[in-house]
A and B are shown apart, each in its own frame.
Chain A
Amino acid sequence: MDNILEVRDLVVRFYTYEGIVKAIEGVNLQLREGEVLGIIGETGSGKSVTALSILSLVPPPGRVEKGSVLFRGRDGKFIPILKLGRKELQKIRGREISIIFQEPRAALNPLYTIGDQVGEVFLVHRLKELCKDVLDEINTELEKAQGFKAKVLSFERSLYERMLRNPESKVIKLASKVPIVRRFRNRLKKAVRKHVIELLRLMEMPDPERIVDMYPHELSGGMQQRVVIAMALACNPKILIADEPTTSLDVTVQAQILDLIRRLKGKLRSSILYITHDMGVIAELCDRVAVMYAGYICEVAPVREVFREPLHPYTRGLLDSIPMPGKELKPIRGTVPNLVNPPSGCRFHPRCPYAMDICSKSVPKLREVKKDHLVACHLYDKDGERS
């Protein structure tokens, strides 16, 4: 399988009053075509920041200091996302790579109807296709029309042809404001609405014709999250980033959403980067898992291996912290370190039961220990390779 996304040596820092927060220190990650890659970690491990950097969305005072994010476009060439300008980014965000955030309430604008918000994606990214559809419709009507109606129709056709050539044309902008004339947009609105309803139906929402005209507050949390997923999938993106999409939902609703994502994955053939702190979700949904701790990736492996033979002490600790019947609970001692003054060397060493001298001195590199199983820990250094 080919990589569709590569994150190389990413370093992200936040410049706050308390000091420089070293949120991400040299993260390397590969997302393969068609797979679901899970990122698991505790609060502050840098999983969300990684997701945001992929779309070049790191908010100030955060800054990407080093590293690159390479996305393989439709022509097979790798595009360096972090070097793109605003307009080029706009073409990738939402169209090639889209993101679902944790809190659907915050992701939706309370002042617009569901139809308007989901429709915006179509208007921004798929305007040309919409124009073509509308033109076809006008042409068929023109064949039958006569007299004044024919004149109106041909005027509309000229406007839509112009829109197809240049969506930002000044004439279109003006025509959209003049009363009566602006009615030409109704056809576009209708076309968008049709697409939105189709999409909502794909999300298995009941009664989509009614829901398009509703406002976000009228929907439950699970339904809101479905709307956000609909927006993310409107353009059949190559990559879907899901940043804890079910954390704020109830378990029964979470089960519905996970089921939906699993079925959509088969239908749309997107790659999914799934961020969560729930080991159960990882086990159910993902093909491979990356475990993050304090800004580093400490282990990457196929999902079965992570659960059967976790190599990194932190991964083991995480698995032992899950309460299970008939198993003794072994919590990891201590707490997640402060990233303004992170521990030297391996950032896990103050909490690690196997810590050695070398652990506090040098940062372990992520290396392949077994086939497809990468781990960053000095326990697995080959002798002689120690630096």
Chain B
Amino acid sequence: MNALVIVKNLKKYFPVKGGVFRTTIGYVKAVDGISLYIRRGECLGLVGESGCGKTTFGKTVIRLLKPTEGSIYFDVPPDVIERIEELEKRNPKDPELERLRKEYDLATYKGSRLKRLRRRMQIVYQDPSTSLNPRMLVKDIVGEPLKVFKLVDGNEVTERVLATLERVGLSEQHLYRYPHEFSGGQRQRIAIARAIILQPEFIVLDEPTSAVDVSVKAQLLKLFKSLQEDMKLTYLFISHELNIVESISDRVGVMYLGRLVELAPTRTLFKKQLHPYTEALFSAIPIPDPDAKKKRILLRGNVPSPVNPPSGCRFHPRCPYAMDICREKEPPLEEVESGHTVACWLYAKR
């Protein structure tokens, strides 16, 4: 296994302030203990409803947010990972472990080390009309990363910008324009150009197609695929549109209320969902075929608040198969079939 990104027990809590002295009265547990890995060159899809923490997870992985707990390893040699795992099992307070953590764990990075890392991981946001500065020309927006990292000389910047713009399907005439002069799809292309100009290895795509029209969506998907092939990119593709995730991802993870409930290769997952939540989520998607007959599982109620998540399995109040154990103990994420992991007591070995 050649993993580019390894995330271990990642947690991100946001404090809720209240009362007269604005003291912390609770935490929004946006991401609550997620462990996964992303292989080099693959596209990992991440799906879930709004508020389940998928965007927070994406931002924390590339350290735009500081995790509350957990570790992130980016491009760490496998023998080092093995050593860390071994030490963790033996003695969590070993001085060697602490040294290795400081050296390799992104969660501990600060300042210039973090900045150097930013060159290698980028993000494309959901809404290009808010992620592009309206007062900057396209050439400055796309060229800014080059200036920040002082990679090329001043006059070469425009050349590089132009080459990148052409790669995403824009041309020279677009260089001296402002973002508002473009359509949604074109703006998203500008945001993509900005993300790839430093030739990163890892890109987080945070719902990049949800703000554009159907026909533009398909164009962008094709662009993502060809970029991935040409530049050997690794993607974390966050979305709530299952059919889009299906067409681009190699593996798909499903999140519910800050937890990963199921993770499997795309084909396997779309053929057979194990977790009751995944099953309900997949059955809710309208199929563009009037003759398709299918059983629809309607979930009761709403997603509970992440400030006070339900005890045990977080899905149990809405789950049609809830048992006694679901209310009491949180199910572990276990591999049921090869590559197919699920966190549900229905499948767990007790």
Q: Which residues of A contact B (CB under 8 A)?
A: 42-43, 206, 220, 222-223, 250-256, 258-259, 277-284, 303-304, 307, 317-325, 329-332, 335-336
Contact = CB atoms under 8 A, between A and B. Distances in A.
Contact of A283 (B246, B288, B298): B288
B289 interface: yes
Contacts of B285: 251, 280
A258 B296 CA distance: 11
A109 B161 CA distance: 47
Contacts of B270: 325
A42 B213 contact: yes
A256 B291 CA distance: 20
4 shortest interchain CB distances as A-B pairs: A280-B286, A331-B218, A323-B247, A255-B284
Interface string B270-304: 10000000001101111111111000101101100
B214 A277 contact: yes
A281 B289 CA distance: 9
Contacts of A284: 286-287, 290
Contacts of B283: 255
Contact of A278 (B184, B246, B286, B302): B286
A254 B222 CA distance: 27
A320 B240 CA distance: 20
Q: Which of B218, B244, B283 has the most CB of A within 10 A?
A: B218
A349 B52 CA distance: 43
25 contacts: A42-B213, A43-B213, A251-B242, A251-B284, A252-B49, A252-B281, A252-B298, A252-B299, A253-B49, A254-B284, A256-B299, A259-B296, A259-B298, A280-B285, A280-B287, A280-B288, A281-B286, A283-B288, A304-B291, A318-B214, A321-B215, A323-B218, A325-B270, A330-B218, A331-B221
Given A43-B213, A329-B222, A279 B302 contact: no
A304 B289 CA distance: 8
B183 A283 contact: no
A112 B242 CA distance: 37
A329 B288 contact: no
A329 B213 contact: no
Contacts of B286: 254-255, 258, 278, 280-281, 283-284
Contact of A279 (B50, B185, B288, B301): B288
B271 to A, nearest CB: 10
A256 B222 contact: no
Contact of B49 (A250, A258, A280): A250
Q: Which of A43, A251, A259 has the most CB of B within 10 A?
A: A251
Contacts of B287: 280, 283-284
B288 A250 contact: no
A331 B49 contact: no
B296 A329 contact: no
Interface string B167-204: 00000000000000001111000000000000000000
Given A43-B184, A256-B299, A331-B218, 16 more contacts: A42-B213, A42-B215, A252-B280, A253-B302, A254-B286, A255-B298, A280-B287, A282-B288, A283-B286, A307-B288, A323-B246, A325-B246, A331-B215, A331-B217, A332-B215, A336-B183
B243 A329 contact: no
Contacts, number: 112
A325 B248 CA distance: 10
A329 B209 CA distance: 15
Contacts of A253: 49, 302
A325 B267 CA distance: 9
Contacts of B302: 220, 222-223, 253
Contacts of A252: 49, 280-281, 284, 298-299
B131 interface: no
Contact of A303 (B216, B247, B290): B290
A321 B290 contact: no
Contacts of A324: 243, 247, 288
Contacts of B281: 251-252
B141 to A, nearest CB: 20
Contacts of A255: 283-284, 286, 296, 298
B219 interface: yes
Nearest to B247: A323
A250 B286 CA distance: 12
Q: Which of A255, A283, A332 has the most CB of B within 10 A?
A: A255
Contacts of B183: 335-336
B298 A331 contact: no
Interface string B210-240: 0001111111011000000000000000001
B218 A336 contact: no
A278 B243 CA distance: 12
B221 A283 contact: no
Nearest to A286: B290
A322 B214 contact: yes
